[in-house]
Amino acid sequence: MRKSINVLLMCLCLFQTDLAFAVDTSVFGIGLGERLSLPECDRLPGYDVSYENNSKYMCWKHTENSSLLAVRFPDGKSPNISDGTDLYLNLINSKVEGVSIQTAGPPTQSAVLEVLTNKYGKPTKIDSVVKNNAFGAVLNSIEASWDFPELSVMFSGVVKMNTGEVSVISRRLRFRLEREKKENEKELPRM
Kindly give, in sequence order, each residue whose CB lies less than 8 Å from that of residue 163, ignoring residues fewer than 6 positions away.
83, 102, 103, 104, 105
Cα separation, 91 vs 63, whole angstroms: 12
pLDDT confidence of residue 188:
65
Distance separating alpha carbons of residues 87 and 128, to the nearest angstrom: 25
Give the per-residue pLDDT at 52: 78
Instruction: Give the pLDDT band (50/70/90) at residue 8.
Output: very low
Is residue 96 a contact partner of residue 90, using CB atoms and an 8 Å limit?
Answer: yes
Contact 30, 89 (CB under 8 A): yes
Convert the pLDDT of each residue in 140-178 to its tens digit: 999 999 999 999 999 999 998 889 999 999 999 988 888
Torsion, Cα of 75, 68, 28, 31 (10° steps) = 140
Beta strands 125-132 and 151-160, pairing class: unpaired
Work out the pLDDT band at 13, boundaries 50, 70, 90.
very low
CA distance linking residue 129 with residue 138, whole number of Å: 10
∠ CA 64-70-76, nearest 5°, is 140
pLDDT in tens, 91-149: 998 899 999 999 998 899 999 999 999 999 999 999 999 988 778 888 899 999 999 99
Residues in CB range of 104: below 8 A, 6 or more apart: 82, 83, 162, 163, 164
Q: What is the pLDDT of residues 18-30, one digit of tens each?
A: 334 578 888 988 9
Report the run of H or E that residue 12 belongs to, with start and end.
helix 2-20
